């Protein structure tokens, strides 16, 4: 998914050889340790955007923080999966209206059962829940920039991707898309999107992460890239929620606020963006 010439660069007014990067902090709203880590990685680091998970326990605090920090661009991290065993969440919509989305406890299905439940999710129920999550954000007076998904790569199914694309248009929001056929479809419509595969920081080894991030910055290709990072503070709260993976969030935070990150971005001439300019083009399109 690496075009010879980036349509996104052209649409945004950058030269073909410009290396553009969105550093988006996923999972805003998870808990206090993650909310604080993301906010710090934006204020003191190189994070340029975040995405809010409305059904999560820390979402009310996250929305209050967004109201206090209107300079932090954010999207809605559309959620229909519960990926933690002892820290659960469910839909905003009453369970009897979205029965295909929930398990016997009333929470979203667990990530470990994704292959089992994903084919059975009813598209109309998922649309109702996704709309409820977007509407809850708008009702708070906040204005998101884009949509993406939690634990559903490109929506998980072609019809879910198409439905979310429709929602993005209806709400005048951009959409994070990395599925090559869909990216090509957007390009034909003159809409900007990522030019390269999304980097998920959970795929990186925490022990070697700083060196790997440096390598990735030095190798960043022309066009628009995006990193989905997960900064957080590895305090007792986070260690209790993620006993086996809290280091992913702490090591993300440590690099993102480091002087090395800023210096290498400057040396390499990487241009940091958020979704606001993309949203303007989606709105106009």
Instruction: Note whether residue 17 is domain-resident.
Output: no
Q: Nearest 10 degrees: CA dihedral of 174, 175, 181, 187?
A: 10
Compute φ and ψ for 210, nearest 5 degrees: -55, -45
Q: What is the mean pLDDT of residues 140-156?
A: 90
**DSSP state at residue 147:** E
Position with higher pLDDT, 10 vs 5: 10
Mean pLDDT value across the chain: 94
Instruction: Note whether residue 2 is domain-resident.
Output: no
CATH code, domain with 38 = 3.20.20.370
Q: pLDDT (tens digit, 9 = 90+) per residue, 72-129?
A: 999 999 999 888 888 888 999 999 999 999 999 999 988 888 888 899 999 999 999 9
Confidence tier at 153 by pLDDT (50, 70, 90): confident
Least confident of 169-173, 192-196, 267-271: 192-196
Write out the two tokens for 10: 């052209």
Instruction: Note whether residue 6 is domain-resident.
Output: no
Quick check: 244 and 202 in contact, CB under 8 A? Answer: no
Instruction: Note whether residue 37 is domain-resident.
Output: yes
Q: pLDDT (tens digit, 9 = 90+) per residue, 210-237?
A: 999 999 999 999 999 999 999 999 999 9
Count how many domains the chain has: 1
Considering the chain, what percentage of its residues have pLDDT values greater than 90?
A: 81
Show the domain range for 132.
22-279
Instruction: Note whether residue 4 is domain-resident.
Output: no
Rounded Cα–Cα distance for residues 151 and 198 (Å):
13
Q: Which residue has the tokens 């006993």?
A: 243
Rounded Cα–Cα distance for residues 272 and 260 (Å):
15
Instruction: Note whether residue 235 is domain-resident.
Output: yes
pLDDT of residue 115: 86
pLDDT of residue 138: 98
Instruction: Note whether residue 153 is domain-resident.
Output: yes
Q: What is the mean pLDDT of residues 177-196?
A: 87
Instruction: Note whether residue 231 is domain-resident.
Output: yes
Q: pLDDT (tens digit, 9 = 90+) per residue, 36-54?
A: 999 999 999 999 999 999 9
Confidence tier at 3 by pLDDT (50, 70, 90): low
Rounded Cα–Cα distance for residues 113 and 82 (Å):
10
Rounded Cα–Cα distance for residues 195 and 179 (Å):
10
pLDDT of 172 > 60? The answer is: yes
The string over 131-150, giving b where at least 16 C-beta atoms fall within 10 Å of a residue's C-beta and e elsewhere, is: bbbbebbeeeebebbbbbbb
């Amino acid at each position: 998914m690496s075009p010879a010439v980036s349509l996104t660069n052209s649409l945004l007014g950058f030269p073909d050889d410009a290396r553009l990067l969105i550093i988006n902090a996923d999972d805003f709203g998870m808990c206090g340790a993650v909310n604080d880590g993301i906010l710090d990685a934006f204020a003191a680091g190189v994070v340029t955007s975040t995405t809010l998970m409305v059904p999560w326990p820390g979402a009310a605090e996250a929305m209050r923080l967004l109201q206090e920090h209107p300079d932090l661009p954010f999207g809605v991290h559309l959620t229909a999966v519960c990926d933690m065993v002892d820290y659960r969440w469910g839909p905003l919509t009453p369970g009897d209206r979205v029965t295909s989305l929930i398990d016997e406890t009333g929470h979203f299905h667990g990530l470990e059962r994704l292959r089992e439940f994903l084919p059975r999710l009813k598209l109309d129920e998922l649309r109702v829940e996704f709309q409820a999550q977007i509407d809850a954000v708008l009702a708070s007076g906040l204005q998101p920039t884009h949509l993406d998904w939690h634990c559903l790569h490109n929506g998980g199914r072609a019809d879910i991707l198409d439905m979310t694309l429709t929602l993005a248009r209806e709400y005048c929001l951009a959409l994070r898309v990395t599925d090559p056929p869909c990216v090509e479809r957007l390009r034909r419509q003159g809409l900007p999107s990522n030019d390269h595969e999304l980097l998920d920081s959970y795929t990186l080894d925490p022990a070697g992460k700083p060196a790997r991030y440096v390598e990735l910055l030095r190798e960043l290709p022309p066009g628009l890239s995006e990193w989905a990072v997960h900064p957080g503070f590895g305090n007792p709260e986070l260690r209790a929620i993620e006993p086996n993976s809290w280091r992913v969030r702490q090591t993300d935070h440590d690099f993102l606020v480091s002087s090395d990150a800023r210096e290498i971005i400057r040396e390499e001439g990487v241009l940091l963006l958020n979704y606001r300019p993309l949203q303007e083009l989606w709105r106009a399109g």
